[in-house]
Amino acid sequence: MYHYFAIYKPYGMLSQFTKEGDHTTLADLKYPFASDVYPVGRLDADSEGLLLLTNDKRVNFQLLNPANSHPRTYPHPGGRRDK
């Protein structure tokens, strides 16, 4: 069974389940994610926003494979940055 999650990752949290330094991680959300659910991509600790998590490797591949590139917008204090 595939699982899909869209969460808001706050500033200062790492986009991973493994503890690293003093940062909070996805494990600190205390949600019982299945052990095979992982983030699709990453947001740096100093970023905040939408983070997708799934155990559907097909979705992960479609979103992250450079051959399937798609526009992305990263807002930052100095204005928008599009990639």
Other Cβ atoms less than 10 A from the Cβ of 48: the count is 15
Active site residue 44: yes
Give the E-state strand segments of the chain in sequence order.
4-9, 38-39, 49-54, 73-76, 79-82
Catalytic residue among 28, 36, 44, 56: 44
- The H or E element spanning position 64 is helix 57-64
Active site residues: 44
